[in-house]
Structure 1
Amino acid sequence: MRIVQSLNQNALLVSDEGQEFIIIGKGIGYGKKKGDLVENEEVSKYYKIKNSENEQRVQAILEELDEEVVLMAERIAKHAQEALQKELNESFIFSLAAHIKFTEEKYRQDIEIPEPFHYELRYLYPKEYKVAEWAVDFLNSEYNMNLPKVEISFFILHFVNGLLENEQVSNAVELSEMLNDLVEIVEHSLGCSLDRNSLEFSRFIIHIRYFILRTNNKEKKIRKNSENMDKLYGMTTAIYPKEYAVVHEMKQLLKQMYGIEFGAAEDFYLLLHLVRLSN
């Protein structure tokens, strides 16, 4: 391997048989210059870079990071991949390391950061939530970072956006905003605050999540309604006019803001969830 560029004392951009890698190792960049050879035994970690955009971003991040922060991110990434049984993309560790560095600084300076959709993310991504919770506890216990629970939400977003195989994960923030908007409609219309720790709230969020992911395709087709479902829904709306009005408002939001439409079957199930929530 030959050095293409020294990134910092512990990281180098190298080339080997036409493929570029970023390599990490304690003191690996000390006294090295472009064109020098690097021995394998000096390297603790290799990262294959697949495109120039990622390469530039990773280089910029590494110039600001020390080895310990990268090692923190490595340990978290390893645990996440084992727990989630999924691969994380090539720049995940560096993005996470940059977040850890920023996190450490912001809490040292007592900067208040708003919590992003904590309850919605918890139900949207239950597996990622558990890993994020572990990550925060790990940093607090192993590195005395004293991170608050609000950081769990930020770590969830990092895990979700670092996953390779699911095309929908890139819309994690949009999906969370959508759910947050819908919850606000429900609370405003019903005139009450929902118990976000309740089983009913969990079921409501999970149902909407799967419904949105199921219908949020390119065609955004309306599901066909059977006559029986139309009749059943019509009878139910007469019994629960307040909840019906909330469903109508939710449908309007989804159609106008996100181009999502649905028919009586989903109306009916949403109405039932709202009845449970209001009780």
Structure 2
Amino acid sequence: MKNIVLNSDSEVIKSFNNNILLVKEDEREKILFQKGIGFGKKPGEIIKKGTVVEKIFIIENEDNQRNFNEIVNRVDSDLIVIVEEVIAEIVDELGEELSENIHISLVDHLYYAIKRLKNNEEIQNPFLVEIQTLYPQEFQLSQKISDRIKKELQIEIPEGEKGFITLHIHSARNNGKLSTTIKSSYLSNAIVQHVEKRLKVKINKKSLDYARFLTHIRFTIERIMTNSPIKNDLIDVIRKRYRLSYKIASEVGKIICKILEIDNISEDEIAYLAMHIERFKVSLSK
């Protein structure tokens, strides 16, 4: 790991442990990682320019700074340390930066989740299978956090909660838009339920065919949400050849419009949906 040199003096806000500090520099808050950097540090002390650290997470948004400080004052440092250390591991494993929102949203979620679990109040996750299928890498990374919490706090994180952690990780890879990630999962589930009803089947959500179908749905939703239209030159052929699938696709289009609160989706997307529904329908009949 390449070391980083601080360009300016930074004021200590809080020492989480010997190796993690929250500091402020030029109106930006930073989480510093370096062995021994937090030892004996008190609020108001200065970390000198030129200090070498292993990793820095920067929190620039004023609302995020305020919310993170509220969390720092409310949440036990042990949980914050666990989450921050695992976020650092995830960043290294993915080889990409995450939205600064994750430092607030994930700690806050886990704080309340652990309180619920201690009171035997587990919340069911209705989208668990969809989350596992759509975001397998993030779900695997959620296991890192679950393992650390079990090891350090003796709290067992159930599969449903791992699904919620997965959504936080995925949203942090996509500009921190957790609401968008949740809406996409909800929409995928609604589409599958409608297809099940119209085809009068019960889909095996552990099957490869289901995973493939859900992936196509996800890409369709992402294209619509990001306004990235595609061209389909086979609209007329698909409409005539796959009449039932096209009708179902048109119904799915209305579901998408309602949930995403948009006026319509293109005929090109309807045709692609019809094609994927037809393929899925054929695979179910085998």
Going from structure 1 to structure 2, the CA distance change for 1:47 and 1:81 (only over 3 Å counts) comes to closer
Q: Does 1:77 align with 2:87?
A: yes
Q: Does 1:274 align with 2:281?
A: yes
Going from structure 1 to structure 2, the CA distance change for 1:14 and 1:214 (only over 3 Å counts) comes to closer
Q: Does 1:247 align with 2:249?
A: yes
Counterpart among 206, 216, 236 of residue 207 in structure 1:
216
Q: Does 1:183 align with 2:203?
A: no
* Counterpart AA for 1:81: V
Q: Percent identity?
A: 25
Going from structure 1 to structure 2, the CA distance change for 1:207 and 1:47 (only over 3 Å counts) comes to closer
C-alpha contact (below 8 Å) 1:116/1:153 kept by paired residues: no
Counterpart among 81, 100, 111 of residue 101 in structure 1:
111
Distance in 2 between residues matched to 1:98 and 1:231, nearest whole Å? 51
Local SS of the residue matching 2:29 = strand
Mean alpha-carbon deviation: is it higher for 249-258 or for 166-175? 166-175
Going from structure 1 to structure 2, the CA distance change for 1:261 and 1:123 (only over 3 Å counts) comes to farther
C-alpha contact (below 8 Å) 1:8/1:63 kept by paired residues: no
Going from structure 1 to structure 2, the CA distance change for 1:9 and 1:137 (only over 3 Å counts) comes to closer
Local SS of the residue matching 1:150 = helix
Normalising by structure 1, we get a TM-score of: 0.78
Local SS of the residue matching 1:156 = helix
C-alpha contact (below 8 Å) 2:143/2:162 kept by paired residues: yes
Which residue pairs with 1:37 in the alignment?
45
In the TM superposition, what is the alpha-carbon distance from 1:77 to its structure 2 partner?
Answer: 0.5
> In the TM superposition, what whole-angstrom CA distance separates every residue of 1:1-25 from its partner, at most 9, and x where no partner exists?
5758x56887987544x34435574
Going from structure 1 to structure 2, the CA distance change for 1:39 and 1:168 (only over 3 Å counts) comes to closer
Equivalent positions of 1:44-193 (< 5 A) are 47-163=57-173, 171-193=180-202
In the TM superposition, what is the alpha-carbon distance from 1:108 to its structure 2 partner?
Answer: 0.4
In the TM superposition, what is the alpha-carbon distance from 1:179 to its structure 2 partner?
Answer: 0.5
* Counterpart AA for 1:158: H
Which residue pairs with 1:230 in the alignment?
236
Q: Unmatched 5+ residue regions in structure 2? A: 1-8, 33-37
> In the TM superposition, what whole-angstrom CA distance separates every residue of 1:52-78 from its partner, at most 9, and x where no partner exists?
211111111111122211110022102
C-alpha contact (below 8 Å) 2:248/2:274 kept by paired residues: no
Counterpart among 194, 198, 203 of residue 194 in structure 1:
203
Local SS of the residue matching 1:21 = strand
Going from structure 1 to structure 2, the CA distance change for 1:9 and 1:92 (only over 3 Å counts) comes to closer
Normalising by structure 2, we get a TM-score of: 0.77
Distance in 1 between residues matched to 2:64 and 2:206, nearest whole Å? 39
Local SS of the residue matching 1:268 = helix
C-alpha contact (below 8 Å) 1:120/1:180 kept by paired residues: yes
Count of residue pairs the alignment pairs up? 263
Distance in 1 between residues matched to 2:276 and 2:122, nearest whole Å? 39
> In the TM superposition, what whole-angstrom CA distance separates every residue of 1:249-270 from its partner, at most 9, and x where no partner exists?
2133224443333333442232
Distance in 2 between residues matched to 1:94 and 1:120, nearest whole Å? 25
Distance in 1 between residues matched to 2:278 and 2:190, nearest whole Å? 17
In the TM superposition, what is the alpha-carbon distance from 1:248 to its structure 2 partner?
Answer: 3.3
Local SS of the residue matching 1:193 = coil
In the TM superposition, what is the alpha-carbon distance from 1:244 to its structure 2 partner?
Answer: 4.8
* Counterpart AA for 1:270: I
Going from structure 1 to structure 2, the CA distance change for 1:224 and 1:26 (only over 3 Å counts) comes to same
Distance in 1 between residues matched to 2:79 and 2:218, nearest whole Å? 34
Going from structure 1 to structure 2, the CA distance change for 1:140 and 1:244 (only over 3 Å counts) comes to same
> In the TM superposition, what whole-angstrom CA distance separates every residue of 1:101-140 from its partner, at most 9, and x where no partner exists?
2222110011131204112122222211211133223322
Going from structure 1 to structure 2, the CA distance change for 1:215 and 1:39 (only over 3 Å counts) comes to closer
Mean alpha-carbon deviation: is it higher for 70-79 or for 140-149? 140-149
